[in-house]
Structure 1
Amino acid sequence: MSKSKQPTMEELAERIIYSDRYSDDKFEYRHVILPKAMLKYIPKSYFSSDDSGLLRILEENEWRGIGITQSLGWEHFEVHAPEPHILLFRRPLPAKR
């Protein structure tokens, strides 16, 4: 009986799910759902220092570095505490003329 091969970070990145965009009067939002197995490949320095198991707020180069791809202007602003593999992003809406 052969042991099943663990997926690589690149293979897991192909399974990232991006929500539809939604907005309020200031920001456009979306949430990004990482495959749960991906959390074990993310550098420990990306997690909060309080041993909660939650990702801290990531800089753009960090979230892009783990395989999240989206257009410019998005910022990671919150982690969904009950499900640490869900990251919340926002970007300002264009100014109205």
Structure 2
Amino acid sequence: MDIDLTRRNKKARPLSDAERGKLDEFIDAIQYSGRYSDKDFEYRHVQLPKAMLKAIPKEYFDGSRGTLKLLWEEEWRALGITQSLGWEHYEVHEPEPHILLFKRPLNYTPPQH
């Protein structure tokens, strides 16, 4: 299950301070699922408050689908999503576009610097 890179911005699009300020009120309402897994990956989903979608810049959306694009780590962290290293946004639950699906390899270990 590879990430469809055509569904992302070509490069991470940083938020301006003003854009980030509009999102601050929603951060405490972001909900995180427990982790679940298959033989290769662990998964979790992140539920954004529905009203938050209106405050996210339009460049983060896929106009043809009406959902968020697949976000780079820099982008989802800028929205206020906090989780440990290694998670990758791989899908949006289209019937409920405020739910973002994440995965990372089982037994992920961050790179050592």
Aligned match for 1:58, one of 68, 71, 75: 71
Runs (4+) off by over 2 Å: none
1:18 counterpart residue number? 32
Identity among equivalent pairs (%): 66
1:28 counterpart residue number? 42
CA distance in 1, matches of 2:25, 2:82: 14
CA distance in 1, matches of 2:28, 2:66: 23
CA distance in 1, matches of 2:86, 2:47: 19
Q: Which amino acid aligns with 1:94?
A: N
Q: Which amino acid aligns with 1:93?
A: L
CA distance in 1, matches of 2:62, 2:43: 23
TM-score w.r.t. the length of structure 1 is 0.85
Structure with the higher fraction of residues in helix conformation:
2
- CA drift of 1:9 comes to 1.6
CA distance in 2, matches of 1:17, 1:67: 11
Q: Which amino acid aligns with 2:80?
A: G
- CA drift of 1:64 comes to 0.4
Structure whose CA Rg is larger: 1
Equivalenced residues, count: 87
- CA drift of 1:94 comes to 1.9
Q: Which runs of 5+ in 1 are unaligned?
A: 1-7
User: Is the partner of 1:10 in helix, strand or coil?
Assistant: helix
User: Is the partner of 1:73 in helix, strand or coil?
Assistant: coil
1:36-75 alignment runs, 5 A limit: 36-50=50-64, 52-75=65-88
1:16-67 deviations in whole A, cap 9, x for unaligned? 00000000000000000000000011110110131x3200100000000111
Q: Which amino acid aligns with 1:24?
A: D
